[in-house]
Amino acid sequence: MARFRPGDRVRVLPNVVDTHHRTPAYVKGRVGRVHALSGSFHDPEDRAYGGSGLPKRELYLVGFGMRSLWGRRYRGGQKDRLLVDIYEQWLEPAGQPIEGQVDDER
Amino acid sequence: MSADHGHGGGRRHPGLAEGLSLSEPALRLLAMEELLVEKGVIGGDDVRRVMDVIAARSPADGARVVARAWTDPAFKLRLLEDPRAALAEVGYPVASGAVLSVVENTEAVHHLVVCTLCSCYPTSLLGPPPDWYKSFAYRSRAVADPRGVMREFGLEVDEAVEVRVVDSAADLRYMVLPRRPEGTEGMAEEDLVALVTRDSLVGVGAPNPPAAES
């Protein structure tokens, strides 16, 4: 059962690990929104070491505002986004944005 | 591995040119392949067979799928909703394991595909990726400065258009369905195929415009 749904605000765990995983460093600790459910797949973090990869893990296409990732250095439109597939074990609920604060998805 | 099996001497790896020196990663790869064969994990021919399957596909296959989608709205919907079924329908069965996703460029949204972690690419439909796709420069810059990268490829995306960079970091492989060029309304599907470039299937370029009337 998928824990998150499209539109949910999620934070990528900031964990630094030495083992094989598919979470790019540049989105770790960042807040985005679930764009779509990508399906469930054998866990690459287990399969990389000869495991079965079971149980399968949910994968999500998560969207981040380019401005929130790169700040003012980003050269492009306000709407520009990055979408990246992130496994459920790397996501936690981010709650609602605090009023008055810059929305960190954009 | 037996003592006379190393690359320093003894048996020579089939397919290696005389006097060719290999980089350390390439040597490591060959050593791993030989080890896997020796231990019976894969057959001696498996790697070559998989490479043949990949090499059998090319961007021309993607172009045919795109031209069909441009001329058949119902097919386009199926391609976006269930790429595997839609591709099988037009004679492109996608190997199991690879999950292909098709993202559509519109007036409002332009997609660009990258794999920052390695070089994931929809090889099951488009064949092997171009060398630049695997380069460190493309992989790092496409996510941080996509408009700058596209400009270098000769594509200027209007500021009002939302750029969506898709980082295929996990199990999905993304292909862009580019916008049909203006002035192609009367063109037949088979003529449209020639307008679809490999770059447009990754999102760093647009399809070619139709040839001017002579």
Across the range B101-109, mean pLDDT stands at: 97
The structural domains of chain B, with segments of one domain joined by +, span 24-55, 59-202
Please give the CATH topology (third level) of the domain spanning A9-93.
Answer: SH3 type barrels. (2.30.30)
Q: Is A70 on the interface with B (CB under 8 A)?
A: yes
B22 compared with A4, residue with greater pLDDT: A4
**pLDDT confidence of B53, banded at 50, 70, 90?**
confident
Query: CB–CB of A80 and B167 under 8 A?
Result: no
Per the CB < 8 A criterion, the answer to whether B146 and B192 are in contact is no
**β pairing state of A9-12 and A31-41:** antiparallel
ipTM > 0.90?
Answer: yes
Q: Is B144 on the interface with A (CB under 8 A)?
A: yes
Residues of B in contact with A83 (CB under 8 A): 164-167
Residue type, B71: T
d(CA A3, CA A38): 13
**Which residues, 6 or more positions from A102, have their beta carbon under 8 angstroms from its beta carbon?**
A68
Query: CB–CB of B171 and A75 under 8 A?
Result: no
d(CA B203, CA B197): 10
Top residue of A17, A20, A61 to mutate, by most chain B CBs within 10 Å, is A61
| pLDDT over threshold 50, residue B4 | no
B115 compared with A100, residue with greater pLDDT: B115
Hey, is A61 helix, strand or coil? Answer: strand
B147 compared with A103, residue with greater pLDDT: B147
Per the CB < 8 A criterion, the answer to whether B172 and A85 are in contact is yes
Per the CB < 8 A criterion, the answer to whether B69 and B63 are in contact is no
CA distances to A66, B109, B142, B148 from B156, in Å: 18, 13, 14, 9
Q: Is B172 on the interface with A (CB under 8 A)?
A: yes
| pLDDT over threshold 70, residue B97 | no
Across the range B36-64, mean pLDDT stands at: 91
d(CA A11, CA A26): 13
**Which residues, 6 or more positions from B79, have their beta carbon under 8 angstroms from its beta carbon?**
B65, B69, B86, B87, B102, B177
- Count the neighbouring beta carbons within 10 Å of the beta carbon of residue B32: 10
Q: Chains A, B: CB contacts under 8 A, how many?
A: 82
Across the range B86-96, mean pLDDT stands at: 85
CATH architecture of B59-202: Alpha-Beta Complex (3.90)
Task: Answer yes or no: B119 catalytic.
Answer: yes
Dump pLDDT digits (tens) for B124-178.
899 999 999 999 999 999 999 999 999 999 999 999 999 999 999 999 999 999 9
Which residue is closest to B173 within chain A, CA to CA? A85
Task: Answer yes or no: B120 catalytic.
Answer: yes
CA distance B110 to chain A (A): 9
First to last CA, chain A: 29
**Which residues, 6 or more positions from A90, have their beta carbon under 8 angstroms from its beta carbon?**
A12, A13, A15, A21, A23
Give, as one character, the DSSP assignment of residue A89.
Answer: G
Which residue is closest to A75 within chain B, CA to CA? B145
Residues of B in contact with A77 (CB under 8 A): 159-163
